[in-house]
């Protein structure tokens, strides 16, 4: 069950910047230069703190997987490279 937490109000500045209230930033460990994923859902803006070391680790794992595949099957053709991104 969700528990009640105090809410704060902030404003959007001229350049589209949003100030995260200090108690919220402190609680979540958000400091200057923290990367946040921002997306919208209906009438809400949702921010999620990103853990870049995790992302960097996943990218390194992806490259190692690609290297193993190339070692086993050879260089992929253009159609193989473009296939995952064509829907976008």
Domain definitions of the chain by residue range: 1-50, 52-82
pLDDT band at 81 (very low <50, low <70, confident <90, very high): low
Integer Cα distance of 63 and 59 in angstroms: 6
Query: Quick one: fold of 1-50?
Result: Pemi-like Protein 1; Chain: D (2.10.260)
Report which DSSP code applies to 75. S
Residues of the chain with pLDDT > 70, as a percent, come to 84
pLDDT score at 20: 92
pLDDT surpasses 60 at 88: no
pTM attached to this predicted model: 0.50
Average pLDDT for residues 69-86, to the nearest whole number? 77
Overall average pLDDT of the 61-73 stretch: 86
| Phi, psi (degrees; rounded to nearest 5) at 41 | -145, 115
């Amino acid at each position: 069950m969700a528990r009640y937490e105090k809410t704060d109000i902030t404003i959007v500045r001229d350049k589209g910047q949003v100030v995260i209230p200090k108690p919220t930033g402190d609680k979540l460990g958000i400091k200057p230069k923290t990367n946040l994923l921002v997306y919208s859902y209906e009438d809400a803006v949702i921010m999620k703190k990103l853990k870049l070391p995790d992302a960097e680790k996943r990218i390194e794992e992806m490259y190692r997987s690609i290297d193993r595949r190339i070692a086993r099957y050879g260089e992929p053709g253009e159609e193989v490279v473009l296939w995952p991104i064509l829907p976008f």
